[in-house]
Structure 1
């Protein structure tokens, strides 16, 4: 199998977990990395044994040896680099959000449809085995029609008014924070499980700390939400609600869904990712474990170890990359399938339209329809 040559734009947290996951794919070779400075790029290149380092992302994009580009930069430059990669006709895997405005994500979706490259966005959680198992169980019809989807995404890393991060600045992160940063994951996850789109929203968002203090103790006026709840309507009459928070003590990365259907309920918690709770009315409830001997074929493709050998977040990243690079390999061999599981640029644009509707709903204190 011929190696696929990859370039990474970015040297921060996202770039680090991308690099570590890519090392687990033996036919993928990272040959270049670009940072905000040549010094940062060289430091990362030396640490990971990457041959080329660039202080300018455009140099990496123009490198003729680079076939695939991972955009691991901060939000405010996502659109710029994503657009350049698509125009160059190269394969693109971008961290979310694709851009900070839906007008920009619409442009990216159009470019992706016309580009010869394969492109996607990093919504990781749809690539966990028990998530895929839940989707498969619903698709098989064994639980009947879903009528309610609840859950949320809770964290605590901005609980204190002295907690600081670049995401607090709208010019770098966008006009919404908790919704765009973590609520977007819940929206993608639940739409994926249900195979139904969110069509309407009613949002109530809150800023807990209107003033925060940065590393130099200078006051920072905060204009983006710390937490909030959103009522949602899915296609086919499914109702739902989710809560997001970056100020809930003890919740480190608690992404959950809890769905109610005609013949049972399903509940999953990302902090205990190897179990799916199954609720029944007339027989005992039970936990379904991540065991290749009992799960369906779709979930099996995301399992790499025997039952009892726990897999978690880094394995979800690996599964996303496997899905993406399998499509690249299949295209090279003329065996491309219709679906591969990872979120497309078009789906990333769809999430941005949901975020727009949530922001507008909170502003007007009313139900807002997600634009087509």
Structure 2
């Protein structure tokens, strides 16, 4: 029987999953929102067959072979476990869980079901030039890696009137800017370099210790600001960080530094890194994803443009259009699911998949917890994987 898909979540990212799956010819049967009315409305809007009334109903549907979870972080543990017990393959949005205690349970559960594919939705790996950078670093083309610097900055929570469930520790976890976008950078860097973070020194800052919650409780991620009468709001104390700086020490002696912000005006979704090696350096920016900068010491620096004819096999496999025909954010989801569903078609996870596994998801939570410990203690903290 063909594997049909059920998607949990109707906010910003759920429809992105649906669109990417459709582009691969994978049938999404239905969607589940936070209420039956939201499920029905989302199903109509996206032209889906079913708006589920409950998660139990979705898991009981024999046509559903794969579940995509784009729900708030606090639901991931119970929803992943239930899906695995129901015999479904699972693709879960990051972070995989709220704590390493949860992710250890999920990692153990995934091992109990070895024929079910489990993945974490770290889509940034699948920009073709990030796959190219990975191949170059792993092949030794840039030499020995010395240090890495980078950032991930946004402005969608710039004002104290900006409110979303992610700002609440009870919904998203103790870390927000790091957990929401910082883990994307950390996953990408470890994926490209193969390095593992050994210890961290972190400084976290809550720029808006009080935010104004609207009557509906939350606004959608990256939703447009509209005019009109301002609603009555409720002040809510915020304990999650808006900004973070993190020093990194990798096993092997390499060093790194990461800056994360969700309150930087004008930066909509700016992720960037620079990897310094003994022969060359590499730099990439997610707002110009078609260019990989290659730094040289004794000759002119170069810009490698995304063109399948110029990329190595690993990167070319996950690019769909000729050079000059831009591929961007939505395409990373398509390419990620191309890799995931290749394993689903085989009937089990591959040995070393390019997509992030539950083990990768667990490691990101271990990094988050070390960052939190470091920030509270004001000193270096070891990562306890």
TM > 0.5: yes
- Aligned-pair distance for 1:193? 0.5
Match of 1:89 in 2: 87
Q: 1:29 & 1:217 partners in 2: Cα distance?
A: 41
Spell out the pairing of 1:99-178 with structure 2 (5 A cutoff). 99-115=97-113, 116-178=115-177
Contact 2:68 2:91 (C-alpha < 8 Å) held by counterparts: yes
Which 5+ residue runs of structure 1 have no aligned equivalent? none
User: In structure 2, what is the equivalent of residue 222 of structure 1?
Assistant: 238
Is 1:260 matched with 2:276? yes
Structure 2: unaligned runs, 5 residues or longer: 215-231
Give the drift of 1:101.
1.4
Match of 2:365 in 1: 352
Supply the distance in 2 between the matched residues of 1:25 and 1:360 (Cα, whole angstroms): 42
1:274 aligned to which of 290, 297, 308 = 290
Deviations 1:241-279 (A, max 9, x none): 100000111111011110100001100000000100011
Partners of 2:116 and 2:347 within 8 A in 1: no
Q: Aligned Cα RMSD in Å?
A: 1.3
For 2:201, what is the secondary structure of its paired residue?
A: strand
Cα distance in 1 for partners of 2:346, 2:306 equals 28
**Greater CA drift, 204-213 or 275-284:** 204-213
CA shift at 1:165, angstroms?
1.3
Q: Distance in 2 between matches of 1:60 and 1:239?
A: 46
Question: What is the SS of the residue equivalent to 1:23?
Answer: helix
Match of 1:236 in 2: 252
Query: Aligned equivalents of 1:6 and 1:196: distance in 2?
Result: 34
Mapped partners of 2:261, 2:23: distance in 1: 32
**1:4: which partner in 2?**
3
Q: CA deviation at 1:84?
A: 0.7
How far apart are the structure 2 equivalents of 1:175 and 1:21? 30
2:287 alignment partner, SS class: coil
- CA contact under 8 A between 1:93 and 1:121: conserved in structure 2? yes
Give the 5 Å matches for 1:352-371.
Answer: 352-371=365-384
Q: SS in structure 1 opposite 2:43?
A: helix
SS in 1 for 2:252: helix
Structure 1 CA distance, aligned partners of 2:233 and 2:47? Answer: 38
The aligned counterpart of 1:189 is 188
| Conserved? CA contact 1:71–1:92, under 8 Å | yes
Pairing partner for 2:68 from 58, 67, 70 = 70
Kindly state the Cα deviation for residue 337 of structure 1 after the two structures are TM-superposed.
4.3
Moved more, 4-13 or 341-350: 4-13
Cα deviation 1:305-355 (Å, max 9, x = unaligned)? 1100011000011111111001111337xxx74333110011101100000
TM-score (norm 2): 0.93
Corresponding position of 2:46? 48
**Structure 2 CA distance, aligned partners of 1:224 and 1:275?**
34
Cα deviation for residue 131 of structure 1 reads: 0.4
Q: TM-score, normalised by structure 1?
A: 0.96
